Chains A and B, each alone.
Chain A
Amino acid sequence: EPEVTQTPSHQVTQMGQEVILRCVPISNHLYFYWYRQILGQKVEFLVSFYNNEISEKSEIFDDQFSVERPDGSNFTLKIRSTKLEDSAMYFCASSSRGLTNYGYTFGSGTRLTVV
């Protein structure tokens, strides 16, 4: 079964440093998403991306965050200057259509720890 692949599985970074979280969506999917889950809390939407531009972003997704599809296979989330409160599990998801009932698939996540 096709998978969304995320790397690294765990990243530790110092406060103020830039981090890039990487995702390889399912190959024929066109819509891409990032979600965040702070330990013990609910999964929260960050941003959606389609046709090389952001479709929607949440209040969490401020100027410190950016997304990019640098080539035909990768989808990245960059946090420019990490804060302690950015420590969370970050999930990438992709879907074949812009509908949540069409193969909306999550990756296993990257655990980001900011120290």
Chain B
Amino acid sequence: QQQVKQSPQSLIVQKGGISIINCAYENTAFDYFPWYQQFPGKGPALLIAIRPDVSEKKEGRFTISFNKSAKQFSLHIMDSQPGDSATYFCAATLNTGTASKLTFGTGTRLQVTL
């Protein structure tokens, strides 16, 4: 029940295209859904996040769409750039206020080609 499923495993998008990564969760008690970006040899870095009472959040070229009834959320990267090439992880958490943990998806390796 704690799992977060992520797809696709890898994605190749042309420069200027739209990258879409999907995630699904099981635990309806999760109350925060961040996306992390990870470059090789680096730790995950927070990219954008959403709460379940919001259906969409946009920050620059990055948008999260959230469907609470379907227990799914997705990351859209508009006008994808070669610098966006990285591994993207969705995550979910239940913020208890006592050192809450993140449950990560399996990751999507995005390659943006010229």
Contact A100 B100 (CB under 8 A): yes
Give the chain B neighbours of A33 by CB distance below 8 A.
99, 101
How many B residues touch A, CB cutoff 8 Å?
Answer: 25
Interface string of A80-115 (1 = CB under 8 A from B): 000000000001010101111100101111000000
Query: Which chain B residues in 65-114 approach chain A with CB under 8 Å?
Result: 89, 91, 93, 95-107
Known A91-B44, A109-B43; contact A42-B105, beta-carbon cutoff 8 A = yes
Contact of B103 among A45, A49, A95 (CB under 8 A): A45
How many A residues touch B, CB cutoff 8 Å?
Answer: 28
Query: A60 on the interface (CB 8 Å rule)?
Result: no
Name B's interface SS: loop
Give the chain B neighbours of A91 by CB distance below 8 A.
43-44
Known A106-B43, A106-B44; contact A98-B106, beta-carbon cutoff 8 A = no
Question: In the docked arrangement, what's the CA distance between A29 and B102, Å?
Answer: 17
Contact A107 B101 (CB under 8 A): no
Contact of A48 among B32, B43, B101 (CB under 8 A): B101
Query: B52 on the interface (CB 8 Å rule)?
Result: no
A-B contact pairs, 14 of them (CB 8 A): A31-B99, A42-B106, A44-B104, A45-B101, A45-B102, A45-B103, A50-B98, A55-B98, A56-B101, A91-B43, A98-B96, A98-B98, A101-B49, A104-B46
